[in-house]
Chains A and B, each alone.
Chain A
Amino acid sequence: MRAFTYERAESPAAAAAAVARNPEARFIAGGTNLLDLMKLEIEAPRHLVDVNRLGLDRIEETPEGGLRIGALVRNTDLAADPRVRRDYAVLSRALVAGASGQLRNKATTAGNLLQRTRCPYFYDPAMPCNKRRPGSGCGAIGGFSRNLGILGTSEHCIATHPSDMAVAMRALDAVVETIDAEGAARRIPIADFHTLPGDTPEIETVLRHGEFITAVTLPPPAGGIHLYRKVRDRASYAFASVSVAAVVHPGQGASGGGIASARLAFGGVAHKPWRVAEAEDRLADGGDAEAAAEAVLRGARPTGQNAYKLPLLRRTLAGVLAQARQGRGEDR
């Protein structure tokens, strides 16, 4: 690990300023992703700003009737919060589908959103990777790509965003709140927060250097049936091959399809949680799971090794919708 200096921030604005003034500085929250990468020198900051003791570990109700989740709320505490379990069950479900009990006790809301890809070439400093070393090429294209992306990929990078939590937040239309070194706040809808790889796969979000996440807000509860289904190589402690976060209102719908409305977000398939409005419209118009999946998968560019994700996504979606129609899942 490369040497670094360490400071404990006194306030969110001071934390933002401390990172902004040093291009080689980083925030450290739970540390479960950053330290993992620092040990391999994939990340090599010269200065760490510890943001753990800023009082951002509370979940509060917003005036609109939603929830404001402090950036430092641990994944375990978010999943267990009685309001989240009751009104945003898809989020609880996604959180407990990720990592292990030990990791969730440490992992934070902001750190989870900003965790980096699990592409095996990104993790191997001996291999080319445009994300780790821009311009060095992409080892995964034409290589071992079984777990990589099928949607929104580019000829420079086909990595996926590994978070489960972010997929549920996408279905819930969460908003990321930040503050910069000057103390200016901004609110970023989660749909716009993560970026596609394009020809700059090293850029993963719209955050600027030193911009500090203070909270993630959830709009008032949407009701409906909440489901998160994660398909992976093992039953536990593995990243998603494909995951579906769904908030479904069963009903007659426009033409008796059994679904009045649905919000669907997908994990394991792209550089960001994937959501397609047309898929949701088709369901509301009486279309079946196959019609919805077709809209989700439009433009998919799988590799030979990960083409299995197309039928897997179709079937996972069909399973989730069947479950929702039967009224199983968390009924809110």
Chain B
Amino acid sequence: MIDDAHAAPRRQAPGSAMTSEASMAAGSAAAPRLDLRLTVNGKERSLRLDPRVTLLDALREHLRLTGSKKGCDHGQCGACTVLVNGRRINACLTLAVMHEGDSVTTIEGLGTPEALHPMQAAFVRHDGFQCGYCTPGQICSSVAVLEEIRAGIPSHVTEDLERIEFGEAELRERMSGNICRCAAYPNIIEAIREVQEQGA
């Protein structure tokens, strides 16, 4: 997000954000590593990690699941969006060790190239991306958005807090935490609408 409140993070070019490992080497003596068990995309995984490792770095650097992307590393872009116990969060703003026993779904776990998740297929069909960098986060987020609407969770544009209308305004507001530098927004919304209508 481009905002004067975020002057400092912008001094690092997006994408050049150091992994926590790299910045750790430059930092003080490391604390003992901790053991962690996670279910990632349905598989049990065990890790031994410095407590500083974020969930995003654990996925990308330790489990080699590089589908989830690091854009800002500060909760401002949504490229790192994953589902934890079914809810979308920014994996860059949480420590892996805080997720002992949790179940994490990344873009790799939603579907495979041979058997795409309906949302992945819709993004392809509607050209919901250009460079593709934000896309894993967009897709994880949009899968969760449809669940949130179904669960009756209101948004800023919900007129009647007791009854949520399905529609483009709701989707745009709920997807505002996912920034697309290529501005593929109209096609992203088309893709989500299609999946929403199929599901309805």
In contact, A32 and B145 (Cβ under 8 angstroms): no
Whether a CB of chain B sits under 8 angstroms from the CB of A40 is yes
Across-interface contacts of A85 in B (CB, < 8 A): 154, 161-162
Whether the Cβ atoms of A101 and B88 lie closer than 8 Å is: yes
Q: What is the CB-to-nearest-CB distance from B54 to chain A, in angstroms, rounded to a whole number?
A: 7
**Chain B positions within 8 Å of A105 at CB level:** 87-89
Contact with A along B83-127 (1 / 0, CB 8 A): 000011110011101101000000000000000000000000000
* A80–B154 CB distance below 8 A: yes
Is B176 an interface position by the 8 A CB rule?
Answer: yes
**Does B197 reach chain A (CB closer than 8 Å)?**
no
A233 — nearest CB in chain B belongs to which residue?
B3
Chain B residues whose CB sits within 8 angstroms of the CB of A238 once the complex forms:
1, 3
Partner pick for A236 among B29, B54, B156, CB 8 A cutoff = B156
A327 within 8 Å of B (CB atoms): no
Q: Which residues of A contact B8 (CB under 8 A)?
A: 40, 120, 123-125
Q: Which residues of A contact B81 (CB under 8 A)?
A: 102
Q: When chains A and B are docked, how far (Å) is the Cα of A103 from the Cα of B174?
A: 12
Q: Is the Cβ of A35 less than 8 Å from the Cβ of B95?
A: yes
B7 within 8 A of A: yes
| A119–B51 alpha-carbon span in the complex (Å) | 28
Given A76-B153, A80-B152, A96-B156, also A103-B90 (CB < 8 A): yes
Whether A239 lies near B90 (C-beta < 8 A) is no
Interface residues of A, CB < 8 Å — how many?
Answer: 52
> Using a CB-CB cutoff of 8 Å, which residues 246-271 of chain A contact chain B?
none
Q: Decide yes or no whether B13 CB sits under 8 A from chain A.
A: no
A48 at the interface (CB under 8 A from B): yes
User: Out of A93, A120, A162, which one reaches B4, CB within 8 Å?
Assistant: A120
CA distance A1 to B18 in the complex (A): 10
Q: State how many angstroms separate the Cβ of A232 from the closest Cβ of chain B.
A: 9
CB of A39 within 8 Å of the partner chain:
yes
Residues of chain B whose beta carbon lies under 8 Å from any beta carbon of chain A: 1, 3-9, 11, 20, 23-24, 27-32, 34, 50-52, 54, 73-75, 78, 81, 87-90, 93-95, 97-98, 100, 141, 144-145, 148, 151-156, 158, 161-162, 172-174, 176-178
A→B interface (CB under 8 Å): 1-6, 8, 28, 30-32, 35-36, 39-40, 48, 50, 52, 76, 79-80, 85-86, 89, 92-93, 96-97, 99-103, 105-106, 118-120, 123-125, 144, 146-147, 162, 233, 235-239, 330
